[in-house]
Amino acid sequence: MNNVVNDFSITVGTKNGSGSSTANNTILRAIFKMGIPVSGKNLFPSNIQGLPTWYTIRASKDGYLGRREEQDIVIAINPDSFTKDLASVAPGGAFYYADDIKLPITRADIALYPMPVKELVKKDPNIPSDFRDLVGNMVYVGVLAHMIGIDIEKINAALTFHFKGKQKPIDMNFNAVKAGAEWAKANLEKKDPFLLEAMDKTEGLIMADGNTAAAIGSIFGGAQFVAWYPITPATSLAEAMNDYFPMLRKRDDGKHTYAVVQAEDELAAIGMSVGAGWSGLRAMTSTSGPGLSLMTEFAGLAYYAEVPIVVWDIQRIGPSTGLPTRTSQADLSFVIGMGHGDSDSVVLMPGDINECFDFGWQAFDLAERLQTPVFVLSDLDMGMNQWMSKPFAYPSTPMDRGKVISEKGLEELKGNWGRYLDKDGDAIPYRTLPGNKHPLSPYFTRGTGHDEYAKYTEDSVVFHRNMQRLKQKFITAKQYVPKPVTYTSKGSTVAIMAYGSTESAINEARTQLEGDHGIKTDFMRVRAVPFPPEVDEFVKNYDQIFIVEMNRDGQLHQLLRLAFPEFALKLKSVAFGDGMPASAKWIREGILEKHAQNTVKAISTKPERKNTSKKTMTAKRGSKGVK
């Protein structure tokens, strides 16, 4: 039997609310501390306590962080999902289970490891009886540690971090880990190939979830006003702002330079943000699909009234009685024209934890520069799961507060000022802020029924002119939005386009496509709408382009087809939405299927390839990418 080192998945099946997240995070952190690239994903139901829930950890020496569909090691603690869990183990895999579950074992092609979880916990007199179930989770951590080679000292470090150095819970949990490990050493014989060995690939990296990154990035962006309403999976973003504001914006006088308001609903959350944005604050809200639909009317008004706000949408599946705790990329079509009547949205699409941080501060600069709502589309997988990442980098540019005229500015202009006047020819007007004491600063804000001086009018010529300017402003936006990230190599005639959290799974699929099927692909991850010119260049250059995304209808695909109708035939949709994070397997299979179907060959003009982003120029960014 050949050992499989640092390249397998571990899935733990437990009950929701049983406290297993501490155990699973401990495994994740310990592997990370061993220098092995690792990712962890919580696949949970909409429930507080009792329903089956899974946590899947993937160790990947090559740095792939996407979900692995093959379940190499499965740990079954929940009798309700035991049979399903047993069936899910890949042939040749390993199955650890609590030995008090008395259900038939139907597999002979896998390694089986019963664990006396309850018994071991009962033996320890230091564990109070009401803590037994919680601490019991640590027994499987210990058994697993011994069997696959997790460094037990790294487990201690992970627990110390988790319990913020509080010795009592650290000891109680660590003793259970040790008990599990010792029992495994004495009683289990290794019959599977999966092993961990320390590496140095996580040196200098951090581990964080996208919502925390977004919150901290927003605070570094000078966020001043947050109004929000609880909704999974966006809740932890606003809560992280509450957590980090006091530390990051601490003042000697103890007073606050920010306000976080939990609103009564999403209508009020965005309404307050629009009010605050109008009065000159860096204002934001965070939500998910259903909340976003409630925000639509205000989004439209903010677009027409040209009020800067930032709206984070942590995408998930549809209605609250759908699969509200499962990930998705299905809000793009809705967001791009969100509002009533003609409207265009500036949309940012972070693809990793670092970009969640960066777009946190950049979104404010963009919103204030363009005087328009900026939507940031993250998703549940990125927002709520732990990802390893480069450390957050301090903002590289000073804040851009956009075109604001102060009292002094009005003096200089001798009051010659119009709120909606396109003075600079970039379709972006100047604004004054409430509280400005110059008698000519105040103006009256309404939707589109105004002239260049904010005076009421329903004149159709004036209305039309204003709407054309708004369109022009959207074109101006192209020069300010983040450029796409591109991976190119010589000789590819096929490309992939995508956005958001699927990058790592796509890069893994690209390696497989090239290695196993001889299909070389280039890859562009778009990061914003409107599409900057780099996207035009890229689309031109290939015979076929596969648009990979996590939804049913291929929304990015549709948007690209609208933007580039002349290339519509060569843009192929590889869209799939089942609530699970993207895996290299479905991306590879989806592309192979569409690739085989491709009988109509688009005309290849074989143009010269150009580097389309900074990242292509870095040599270490090969076709196989580690973030």
Partner 1 sequence: MSALPMAGAPVNTNLVGLTKNDYRGNPTTLCQGCGHNSISNQIIAAMYEMSILPENVLKFSGIGCSSKSPTYFMNRSFGFNSLHGRMPSIATGALFGDHTLKGIGVSGDGDTASIGMGQFKHIMRRNVNMVYIVENNGVYGLTKGQFSATAERGLELKKQGTNPYMPVDICMEAVISNATFVARSFAGNPKQVKEILKAAFAHNGIAVLDIISPCVTFNNQENAYHSYAWGKDHEEPLHDITYIAPRNEIMLEREMNEGEIREVTMHDGSVVILKNLEKGYDPTDRFEALRALDEAQRNNWLATGLIYINTEKPSLNETYNLVDTPLNRLTEADLRPAPAMIDKINALMF
* 201, 63 contact by CB (below 8 A): yes
Residue 528 to residue 484: CA distance in whole angstroms:
8
Q: Which is nearer to partner 1, 102 or 255 (CB)?
A: 255
Residue 336 C-beta: closest distance to partner 1, Å? 21
Residue 148 to residue 156: CA distance in whole angstroms:
17
Q: Which is nearer to partner 1, 43 or 227 (CB)?
A: 227
Residue 39 C-beta: closest distance to partner 1, Å? 14
Q: Which is nearer to partner 1, 255 or 490 (CB)?
A: 255
* 627, 207 contact by CB (below 8 A): no
* 26, 34 contact by CB (below 8 A): no
**Packing angle between helix 296-305 and helix 266-278, nearest 10 degrees?**
10
Residue 276 C-beta: closest distance to partner 1, Å? 4
Q: Which is nearer to partner 1, 299 or 580 (CB)?
A: 299
Residue 231 C-beta: closest distance to partner 1, Å? 17
Residue 565 C-beta: closest distance to partner 1, Å? 35
Residue 68 to residue 66: CA distance in whole angstroms:
6
Residue 310 C-beta: closest distance to partner 1, Å? 13
Cα–Cα distances in Å, from 214 out to 313, 314, 375, 377? Answer: 11, 11, 13, 11
Residue type, 6: N
Strand-strand pairing, 309-315 and 373-379? parallel
- Please give the structure tokens belonging to residue 127: 């564990």
Q: Which is nearer to partner 1, 254 or 518 (CB)?
A: 254
Strand-strand pairing, 283-287 and 521-525? unpaired
Q: How many CB atoms lie within 10 A of CB 517?
A: 12
What are residue 6's phi and psi, to 5 degrees? 55, 35
Residues near 214 by Cβ (< 8 Å), separated by ≥ 6?
A: 237, 240, 286, 312, 350, 356, 357, 359, 360, 376, 378, 383
Residue 618 C-beta: closest distance to partner 1, Å? 22
Cα–Cα distances in Å, from 535 out to 94, 484, 525, 541, 564? Answer: 45, 7, 9, 10, 10
Residue 384 C-beta: closest distance to partner 1, Å? 15
Q: How many residues are there in the chain?
A: 627
Q: Which is nearer to partner 1, 125 or 254 (CB)?
A: 254
- Please give the structure tokens belonging to residue 179: 């008990």
Q: Which is nearer to partner 1, 419 or 621 (CB)?
A: 419
Which of 411, 420, 513 minimizes the C-alpha distance to 463?
A: 420
Residue 440 C-beta: closest distance to partner 1, Å? 6
Q: Which is nearer to partner 1, 446 or 552 (CB)?
A: 446
Q: How many CB atoms lie within 10 A of CB 19?
A: 15
Residue 50 to residue 99: CA distance in whole angstroms:
20
Q: Which is nearer to partner 1, 401 or 585 (CB)?
A: 401
Residue 201 C-beta: closest distance to partner 1, Å? 15
Residue 501 C-beta: closest distance to partner 1, Å? 18
Residue 456 C-beta: closest distance to partner 1, Å? 6
Q: Which is nearer to partner 1, 371 or 558 (CB)?
A: 371
Which of 3, 2, 32, 22 minimizes the C-alpha distance to 150?
A: 32
The gap from C-alpha 471 to its chain's centroid, in whole angstroms, comes to: 29
**Preceding amide of 52 cis, omega within 30:** no
Q: Which residue has the tokens 């192979």?
A: 592
Residue 572 C-beta: closest distance to partner 1, Å? 38
Residue type, 227: A
Residue type, 528: A
Residue 48 C-beta: closest distance to partner 1, Å? 26
Q: Which is nearer to partner 1, 34 or 330 (CB)?
A: 34
* 573, 557 contact by CB (below 8 A): yes
Q: Which is nearer to partner 1, 175 or 262 (CB)?
A: 262
Interior/surface letters 298-337, b for 16+ CB within 10 angstroms, e for the rest? bbbbbbbbbbbbbbbbbbbbbeeeebbbbbbbbbbebbbb
CA-based torsion, 67, 68, 70, 76: positive or negative: negative
Residue 442 C-beta: closest distance to partner 1, Å? 4
Q: Which is nearer to partner 1, 189 or 458 (CB)?
A: 458
Q: Which is nearer to partner 1, 458 or 566 (CB)?
A: 458
* DSSP three-state, residue 373: strand
* 299, 311 contact by CB (below 8 A): yes
